[in-house]
Amino acid sequence: MTARVLSWGIGQLQEGHRVAIASVHSVKGSVPGKVGARLAISSRDGEQFGTVGGAGLELKVIEKCRELLSTTHQPYGELQTYGLNKGAKGYEVTPLDSLCGGQVTISFEILIPTPHILLLGAGHCAKALAPHIHLLGWEYSVHDSRTEYANRDIFPDAKDIFCSSVEDFFSNQDGTNISKYSEILLLGHDWKEDETRLLSLLSTLQLYENEAELEFARPHIGVIGSRSKWNAFEKSCLKKGISPSIIERVQCPIGLNIGAESPEEIAIAVLSDVLSRFKNIDPSSTSWRTSYRVI
């Protein structure tokens, strides 16, 4: 059962969903679940798999897992001991309305998927980013409208490579597809292509914004370029009816302000920014909005 629960959890992570795993860490006396029993809950609609023994204990464990999933996006661990008797006492023991009489300690873990970065545009910056993304053990996918750029020779480690027009690419994307990416970076060689990408992407975000049945991961969106470029893009988004709350999610320019100029330096600045979010580190001590030349 343990292997099945862990395998199920890994599958959820691969689809871009956070997972809470509760495991029976230790027991005393009569308890419903034995050491090693596990329960996993996905952030996707609270879907669950496995068991820690059922009854009132499991209800409390499920409640705790859902609480943790709703309040943290980072790796997390905690031990909690339950006394299976409503009169249970002791240091850090949570009493339950049960007649089992024993004690069970549950370990809680929150697992988050590793970053999966979608590179929209396969030019110099994307080529500089790709090997460093792979070196970090993260995943990346690539889209470009040019076959000579979007191929396995240039991006051998890409999870997916899409070569099509921008319109054709987004005709096959919905909220579920987009939510598997943690980061979407617009790095196109043509500002018009990037504008079309941005309008299509934000329209999809807006479409799925209020659908309660869909857990939308809200990927971080970044656009390479100057402030004047962003001002033009913002006007186009507003003209198309994209709400300001959706537009505000976009970061332009991208990366930490470390004085980057070349594609290789920009890659370091961008991935440092991504890493700070992944590790839940606030980079507010630096002015991380800076301008780069589009190469």
pLDDT digits (tens, 9 = 90+) for 265-284: 999 999 999 998 887 665 55
DSSP 114: P
Residue 215 has pLDDT above 70, yes or no: no
Counting Cα atoms < 13 Å in the Cβ hemisphere of 172 gives: 8
Residue 141 has pLDDT above 90, yes or no: yes
Domain regions of the chain by residue span:
2-111, 116-285
Name the strand (E) or helix (H) holding 93: strand 93-95
Residue 20 has pLDDT above 80, yes or no: yes
Lowest mean pLDDT among 23-37, 124-138, 141-155, 240-254: 23-37
Q: Which of 41, 224, 25, 39 is nearest to 120 (CA)?
A: 224
Query: Roughly how many angstroms between the first and final C-alpha of the chain, as a whole number?
Result: 52
**Angstrom distance (rounded) from CA 122 to CA 147:** 10
Structure-block tokens of residue 278: 């992944």
Q: Which overall architecture, per CATH, does domain 116-285 show?
A: 3-Layer(aba) Sandwich (3.40)
Compare 9 and 55 and report the one with higher pLDDT: 9
Which of 86-100, 177-191, 215-229 is predicted most confidently? 177-191
Q: Is 182 helix (H, G, I), strand (E, B) or coil?
A: coil
The per-residue pLDDT for 44 is 77
Label the pairing between strands 76-83 and 93-95. parallel
> What sections of the chain are H helices per DSSP?
2-14, 55-71, 124-135, 166-171, 175-178, 191-208, 227-239, 244-247, 263-278
Q: Count the Cβ atoms, other than its own, within 10 Å of residue 259.
A: 8
Sequence-distant contacts of 226-230: CB under 8 A, at least 24 apart? 226/253, 226/291, 226/294, 227/252, 227/253, 227/291, 229/191, 229/294
Which of 117-131, 175-189, 265-279 is predicted most confidently? 117-131
Structure-block tokens of residue 274: 């991504």
The per-residue pLDDT for 105 is 87
CB 185 within 8 A of CB 117: yes
